[in-house]
Structure 1
Amino acid sequence: MTIRFMDVFTEWAASYDEAVTGHDPQYKDVFLRYDEILDAVAERATTPVTEFGAGTGNLTGRLLARGIEVTAVEPSPEMREILIDKIKDVNVQDGHFLSFDAEGTNSFVSTYAFHHLTDTEKGEAIGLMADILPVGGKIVYADTMFLTEQERLDVIREAREKQFDALADDLEREFYPIIPVVQDLFEKQGFNISFERQNKFVWLVEAEKMEESA
């Protein structure tokens, strides 16, 4: 997450855990199978892990439960406070995808966060992670993305028809990517990448570094 969306998470921090359990009808489909999605990310990670956009610690807790060493990177002070209160003795870092300290990391993970970067920033972040990861290291994340631009526009139209204006505004304002664009960004950095659909909005991405960075 970059600093441009800090105000969103300052406002959302206190109710975030309620939102992901489906209590907000506008976002129910976005967070459908939320627990399974987080588990899928956690089970593909190899220790030690750096987690971006750790938020209130929902993925962090699952990683720790698997015996994985985690550095939780989160720029929002409000989110960090909830995370630290929820999970004692967790290693928390103030930072984001483009500003972090992660030497020795074998996996970078995130959920519902990579879309806060523009496509250019996504490429920069992938490059930064590639420079740190060993061959065989992974980037694993789950986030909203679309197969085509037309699919994105159709989903926004459907949201407006349902009067889900907050959801539609999010889909228009933030940087939800098109899958072929994401695939190209990773492959240019030497990753083998796969996509697995989790619900109408969210895909699971698993990218393995295949060669040393130039």
Structure 2
Amino acid sequence: MSTRSELSRQLGVVAGFDDPDAALEQYPTPPDLAASIVHVADLRGDIEGKTVVDLGTGTGMLALAAALRGPDRVVGVDLDRSALLTARENERRVAASADVGWVQGDATDPPLSVEGVTVVMNPPFGAQRGNEHADRAFLETAADVAAVSYSVHNAGSREFVESFAADAGGEVTEAFEAELAIDRQFDHHDADRETIAAEVFRIDWT
């Protein structure tokens, strides 16, 4: 198993969005965050030999991080065809040996027939007007298809995530703080780079 820092380095070649959509909150997942999530998941036995599904995969950062840790297969789901084309290019750059499939579709109602999988996701935080609580729909999907899920949420979301998981028959078994470094990419951004506090949760749905 590669170290977390080695995994982050391998993911450094993953390209982001060519034309990000603010309404979809298309922010790239930083390599170090993806490496941290997948490293923890692998240590917990949730990656190697498993089917891993990345909901809202974007250009594939989390899916490809998982693909580098010996899963049985990986599936990335996203609405944006352009992002998936970039994800396929990123797959070639990373050169993972795992079977990776890219599926265009709604991550909150994925066109997949799977259950008992490991879900990894960095869903929209719901920061845009009219898109509040967007992460709830992603959690609902994880509750339906996952044995375990790892998801990134806005800082201060622990009470919500724990309550949602409990109501859906799951349990938060691990949580850790994280940071998202976001470069200026939309008109509403005031700074060239902003660091957003976030939290990552592991939920056992079994």
Q: Output the amino acid matched with 1:52.
A: L
- Partner SS, residue 125 of structure 2: helix
Which amino acid is the alignment partner of residue 91 of structure 2? I
What's the TM-score, normalizing by structure 2?
Answer: 0.62
Structure 2: distance between partners of 1:203 and 1:128: 19
**Could you list the runs of 5+ residues in structure 2 that have no partner in the other structure?**
1-16, 22-26, 93-98, 180-195
Identity percentage over the alignment? 13
Instruction: Select which of 145, 149, 155 maps to 1:146.
Output: 155
- Read off the aligned partner of 2:35 and give its amino acid letter: D
TM-score by length of 1: 0.60
- Hey, what's the Cα distance between the residues in 2 that align with 1:60 and 1:126? 17
Q: Which runs of 4+ in 1 moved over 6 A?
A: none
Q: Structure 1 residue 129 and structure 2 residue 142: aligned?
A: yes
Q: Distance in 2 between matches of 1:90 and 1:129?
A: 19
CA distance in 2, matches of 1:205, 1:83: 24
Relative to structure 1, is the Cα distance of residues 65 and 114 closer, same or farther in structure 2, using a 3 angstrom cutoff? same
Distance, in Å, in 2 between the alignment partners of 1:42 and 1:186 is 21
The alignment yields a C-alpha RMSD, in angstroms, of 2.6
Q: Which blocks of at least 5 consecutive residues in structure 1 are unaligned?
A: 1-8, 14-18, 21-30, 148-177
Higher helix share: 1
Partner in structure 2 of residue 103 of structure 1: 114
The aligned length equals 149
**Equivalent residue, structure 2, for 1:198:** 178
- Please report how far the alpha carbon of residue 125 of structure 1 lies from its aligned counterpart in structure 2 after TM superposition: 3.9
TM-aligned CA distance change 1:204 to 1:79, over 3 Å: same
Displacement of 1:131 in angstroms is 2.9
**Cα 1:79/1:62, change in 2 over 3 Å:** same
Q: Which residue of 2 aligns with 1:51?
A: 54
Q: Which has the higher contact order (CA 8 A, sep 6+)?
A: 1
1:198 match: secondary structure: strand
Whose strand proportion is higher, 1 or 2?
Answer: 2
TM superposition shift of 1:183: 1.8
Please list the CA deviations of residues 7-52 of structure 1 after superposition, one character each: whole Å capped at 9, or x if unmatched: xx67228xxxxx85xxxxxxxxxx7xx3332112213143101101
